[in-house]
Structure 1
Amino acid sequence: MATVPPYQQISQQKLKERDAQIPTEYLLTSGQLSQLNSQHNITHLPRSEEFFTPAEITIINSSAPTIVAKTSAGEWSVQEVTEAFIKAAMIAHQATNCLTEIPIPEARALAKSLDTTPTAPRGPLYGLPISLKDCFNIYPSVYSTSLGLTAWSAAQSPAPPESILVTLLRDLGAIPGHVKTNVPTGMMMIEGQNRLWGQTLSPFSKVLSPGGSSTGEGVLGALRGAPIGVGTDLGGSIRVPASWGGLYSLKPSSGRFPVMGARGGLSGQRAISMVNGPIAAELESVRMYCKAVVGAEPWRYDPGCVPIPWREGQMPVGRKLRIGVLRNDGVVRCQPPVERAVDIVRKALEDSGEVEVVGWEPFKHAEITTLVGRIITADGGHNVPGLINATQEPWYDSMLPYKAVSTSPDTDIPTSAMWELQHLQSTLQKEHLDHWRASGVDAVIAPVAPWAAVRRGASAKMPYMGYTFVWNFHDYVAATLPVTLADRSVDLRDEGYVPLNEIDRAVWEDYEPDVYHGGPAGVQVIGGRLEEEKCLEVVEFVDSLLRGKAYVLAFC
């Protein structure tokens, strides 16, 4: 009889434990599961009276500001709001496998305490359930922070402190962590899969990836399992799943939101900072979250936060808004649905008469993308590979380059070599700042990735994240904006295109209109460093131009 590898034994036990966390009243019948599994697109689910009552549908499809207004006025109890989102999250999970740990007892207890304590201060996020990416420590003596690694499947002992952001959200009146959401192995891929919790599915298509590494947040947001979710971003991990879930999001600059107490596979790496930020179905929810978190003065609790209050009214006065548009970074051309999304936004800006639109000349994207790879593997790739190998986990194809680094000699570079990389980074950052200032732009519109949600498993053959990596490298702000859906009738292949390189060829040859049909195609809006407020104001302006247009399809 074949011996079951350690990782499989651990996973089997952990999945049983997670299944037991789902309230029995929210377990779907076999018929309901078969129905959802047979449907290519399930984004209608949050509006389905087969699964939800009319009252629940109203609650889970409301924006964060609406929910807080209702709970603060006593029109909705915190418990009924929390329960509606618990139910939505449970149904979303059973359809997509988007969750890891499920701290429902603690969420219910917190909701009850807010309802039954009349003197409790009603903070700016009062009664608002907020889902958390798996990397955040919440109730750490009870629940794991595994990052999808079977070696980290147990709750940490001794238990670490709770993530500062979690405590802050609770102090603001929120219900943080009614669920924790799935990530790829070690948060090191844009594919939503790991050996502990398994594969997460996109609600838009059974064959397309939900993205990563904030995989579950993108899925849960699309299916209304939380009014706001919190993801993290080192190279695109908020923006990719948010865009592929048809959602708004914000990747801030480092220092605006607290990060201490979150677990990572590259802890201690500071050249390119991991940041966290909100993901939501409405822009107003993203803005509300940002204003509340910064308003709580996180610099009093996290030494890495900068003491800058939230600043409204950052749009230019006395002149037109000037926006650069990037359609192709000169390294990898985007597939037709993504190009069309960029073109839709550019046309809306030009037609408005209120914006000076200019082409944005990409600045050394190939060089920067290569440098990012060198920086994040400067430890010789020892951290995550050691954890993967500890329980005999098979390596995913998307992570084989990382494995190669970990098994190659002389990849764990000395401090002097790391300083050289950081010096080069500083030089490129200054050159880029001069490039940005010389252009006179207030913001740049760009693709999030070459695909409108890549087909599942295909990113290993065409690993390119240059459209997001570059902005993490410079520590610029970036927000996502949903635009449209891939349409096989209009997003046709350019059969005469001559690829620039092998990855460009792989991306272009991968495109099949029938496969990508229905995939969300959005853009990112990039602002200068620490210009979160201005970036969101630009997003709001662009969004106002797009909504209601015939060529912009409504998202879930």
Structure 2
Amino acid sequence: MSAHPAPADWQARCDARKQAQLDAIPPDWRIAFPPLTVDRRNVLDVPRTCGLLTPRELEITDTTDIDVLLLNLRTAKWSAVDVTTAFYKRAIVAHQLTNCLTEIFVDRALARAQELDDHLRVSGSPVGPLHGLPISLKDQFSIKGLETIMGYAGWIGRYAESDCVLVEILYELGAVPFVRTNVPQTLMWGETHNHVFGRTTNPYNRYMTPGGSSGGEGALVALRGSPLGVGTDIGGSVRIPSAFCGLYGLRPSYERLPYHGAANSLEGQESISSVLGPMANSLAALRVFTQAVLGARPWRRDPLVVRKDWDWREYALAEHGGRGARMCFAVMWDNDVVRPHPPVVRAMEEVKRALERAGHRVIDWEPHRHIEIYKNAETIFAADDAHDMLSACALSGEPLIQSMSPTVDAHAYALDEPFARTVLWQLHKEKRALRKSHLDHWEATAARTGTGRAVDAIISPVEPYAACPHGCNSDAFYTTLCNVLDYAAVVFPVTHVDGARDAAQPPHAFRNQEDKAVYEMYDPQLFHGLPVGLQLIGRTLEEEGVLAMAEVVDAALKAAQST
């Protein structure tokens, strides 16, 4: 990164940067969008009705079949310039509706697309497996010559001197990075708001959060403003916005995909590693992205990446009886910490019925040492007592955001001393023991599955609720569990909240204050219409397997819902 400019008034700097973002939007791409009112919270139809996109551009951007999109690009049925233009226009519409973008670089992206068209015309062959595909990136993935702000006022003016490894690979694969998306200050939130770019909202209901920290990606992809986005996940930051915005998302294991050169919070904290993962409107897009990036042999650029090619045997479910075999799934109805809302329970019931109808067995998952795992994770995350975050804020003088509520301004922070090394080492030792204990617990399920194997995968909530009001997303343990144990997981959409079917339930015996607060937050009419997603949890480094098993579950669910 280049030298940081001298600190100035942080609010003025934020205002100037936000204005520069607005100035980057082509004037004829601006729309008259509806204000946020009680009867105009859902804006999913606006890209189709605002008049900005042509019928052909709507056809392009409504194409969720990634294989069709890539086929049309490599055969020149659709040019890379036309596809990039279509998605860029729709991304700009999405931004005006939800405030989902950070970096807007139209000319640069279109120049890249023109290079790809020229190459295809002259050579007759595409550049790579992602030829011409626009890809959006969370505001962590450094692109040479562009700012990497990551929600900090003090990082305004930080221009990347090189591309991060993922961006290098995407260019070689033929992709067109074309926008970057909004994040919360510090990244350590399940919502998306910062002082520089402001708050991102959920296109299903702008009164609600799209989740975080990859919330900008969630809102953008939900509005079909990108065919494929890349987020990151340290406690659920890919999976939460995927579930809240009705998307598919992959959380791979530590170091399976290349992270080197991307900006981050808590750098040096390697007890629970942040990972990158794709988000899209189809499962196939997750597979195409993962397979393409692994095909580029990323371990030759990022020394932490595991040296493991895309495993076709694993994708064929060889360790799960093979494609078409009877499998056994376990449903985690409750994690014994926070009880899920009624629509989340209904989603699990629907998946169970669909799997049983498809010939699979479904048993109950028995939570194992969850409170211990939760305490271990939260203590590790707090090990430096926010020194990293406060140091980043001190560059500009901006306060550390401690509430995502639009009506609460909580900027006080009491600073303690960071942990001694011996305490952190003890946490590492405890984490290893918990992982071993959970592995043994999983293996012991072989006595209950009827397949001769342990449970093939766990079906679990992503959050105990659908997308919630801004400032209310306070629980993430259903997802953080996977980050601690390093289990690969895929989020898939199941249903939508139905105010009539998903009635509030009588109070139960609350386990803790969080459990009580989550129960009291539920209002069937407030949540009505919001998407409900679940996650399929597999083993460590089993990305191909969890994608394949998610396809099995998704197909069973769609078959059941079509009858």
Q: Normalised by the size of structure 1, how large is the TM-score?
A: 0.92
Which residue of the other structure, out of 554, 558, 561, is the alignment partner of 1:543? 554
Which residue does the alignment assign to 1:409? Answer: 416
Equivalent of 1:376, from 374, 377, 381?
381
Runs (5+) with no aligned partner, structure 2: 1-7, 446-453
Matched, 1:200 2:219: no
In 2, the alpha carbon distance for the partners of 1:256 and 1:523 equals 22
Counterpart-to-counterpart distance in 2, 1:405 and 1:416: 29
Residue 351 of structure 1 corresponds to: 357
* The one of 407, 423, 427 aligned to 2:429: 423
1:521 corresponds in structure 2 to: 532
Indicate which of 465, 470, 488 corresponds to 1:451.
465
Tell me, which stretches of 5 or more residues in structure 1 are unaligned?
none
Rounded Cα–Cα distance in structure 1 between residues aligned with 2:550 and 2:172 = 29
Q: 2:192 touches 2:200 (CA, 8 Å); kept in 1?
A: yes
One-letter amino acid of the structure 2 residue matched with residue 444 of structure 1: I
* Corresponding residue of 2:338: 332
Provide the C-alpha distance between the structure 2 equivalents of 1:247 and 1:208, rounded to a whole number of angstroms.
16
Any conservation in 2 of the 1:208–1:519 contact (CA below 8 Å)? no
Counting only pairs closer than 5 Å after superposition, residues 124-139 of structure 1 correspond to structure 2 as: 124-139=129-144
Q: C-alpha distance in 2, partners of 1:276/1:155?
A: 22
The answer to whether structure 1 residue 219 and structure 2 residue 219 are counterparts is yes
Does the 8 A contact of 1:148 with 1:197 survive in 2?
Answer: yes
SS in 1 for 2:328: strand
Matched, 1:317 2:338: no
Q: Kindly indicate whether residue 504 of structure 2 is the aligned counterpart of residue 500 of structure 1.
A: no
Determine the C-alpha separation between the residues in 1 that align with 2:562 and 2:70.
32
Q: Does 1:41 align with 2:48?
A: no
Partner of 1:349, secondary structure, is helix
> Which residue number corresponds to residue 15 of structure 2?
12
Letter of the 1:122 partner, please give it. V
The answer on whether the counterparts of 1:349 and 1:357 sit within 8 Å (CA) in structure 2 is: yes
The question of whether the paired residues in 2 share the 8 Å contact of 1:43 and 1:203 is answered with yes
State the secondary structure of the residue aligned to 1:219.
Answer: helix
Tell me whether 1:22 sits opposite 2:22 in the alignment: no
Maintained 8 Å contact 2:247/2:280 = yes
Task: For 1:35 and 1:205, locate their aligned partners in 2 and report how far apart those are by CA, in whole Å.
Answer: 9
Number of the residue aligned with 1:532: 543
The count of residues paired between Structure 1 and Structure 2 equals 534
- Aligned equivalent of 2:128: 123
Q: What residue in structure 2 maps to residue 174 of structure 1?
A: 175
Aligned alpha-carbon RMSD (Å) = 2.1
* 2:222–2:281 Cα contact (<8 Å) kept: yes
Measured in 2, the distance between the counterparts of 1:329 and 1:290 equals: 29
Partner residue in 1 for 2:495: 484
> What whole-Å deviation, never above 9, does each CA across 1:35-62 have from its counterpart, x for those lacking one?
9996221122344473422111110011
| Distance (whole Å) between structure 2 residues aligned to residue 404 and residue 525 of structure 1 | 37
Deviations 1:285-309 (A, max 9, x none): 1111111111111111111111111
The answer to whether the 8 A contact 1:188-1:399 is kept is: no
AA matched with 1:298: P
The answer to whether the 8 A contact 2:482-2:488 is kept is yes
Partner deviation per Cα, 1:409-460 (whole Å, 9 max, x = no partner): 33x112222111101111111111111111111110000001101211123x
Whether the 8 Å CA contact 2:31–2:52 is kept in 1: the answer is no
Alignment match, 2:4: none
Pairs within 5 Å for 1:255-266: 255-266=255-266
Q: Tell whether the 8 Å contact from 1:243 to 1:448 is kept in structure 2 after alignment.
A: yes
Q: 2:30 is aligned with what amino acid?
A: L
CA offset digits 1:264-283 (Å, max 9, x no partner): 11111111111001000011
Q: What's the CA shift for 1:154?
A: 1.4
3-state DSSP of counterpart to 1:183: coil
Letter of the 2:97 counterpart: A
2:149 to 123, 127, 146: 146
Alignment-mate amino acid for residue 310 of structure 1: W
Distance 1:100 1:438 in 2: 47
